[in-house]
Amino acid sequence: MTLVGQCYGNDKLKVGFYNGKCGAHNIEEFIFKVVQQKIREDPDIVSDLIRLSFHDCFVRGCDASILLEGKHTEQMARVNKRLGGIEDVGEIKKVVEKVCPGVVSCTDVLVIAARAAVFLVS
């Protein structure tokens, strides 16, 4: 996950990055709890989230491009056809948007979820 942490510019994602940006909501804790519940339902989500984060965070950083849908997107590439967890990240993002609309990026949701998954199984 260190590689993932290096994918950001001057305002690098760090523990507590969203503190105070979403009212009284602790977004990292919120995502942590959602991931925790998803792991209870399907433990395979851990490897899915880690794999997604590495597919998304490549040479020039993280951009959530793996989450884009459409005919000529990364999701449609043969190598990515069996990627799991895309729907889960979408669900987590929707839940985050309900409590903190327009603030937390898809990339950050993916990275925070992957970090939470690694922590929860270590």
Active site residue 25: no
The per-residue DSSP string of 45-80 comes to HHHHHHHHHHHHSBTTB---GGG--STTSGGGSGGG
How does DSSP classify residue 22? B
Catalytic residue among 55, 64, 110, 113: 55
How far apart are the C-alpha atoms of 48 and 45, rounded to whole Å? Answer: 5
Catalytic residue numbers? 55
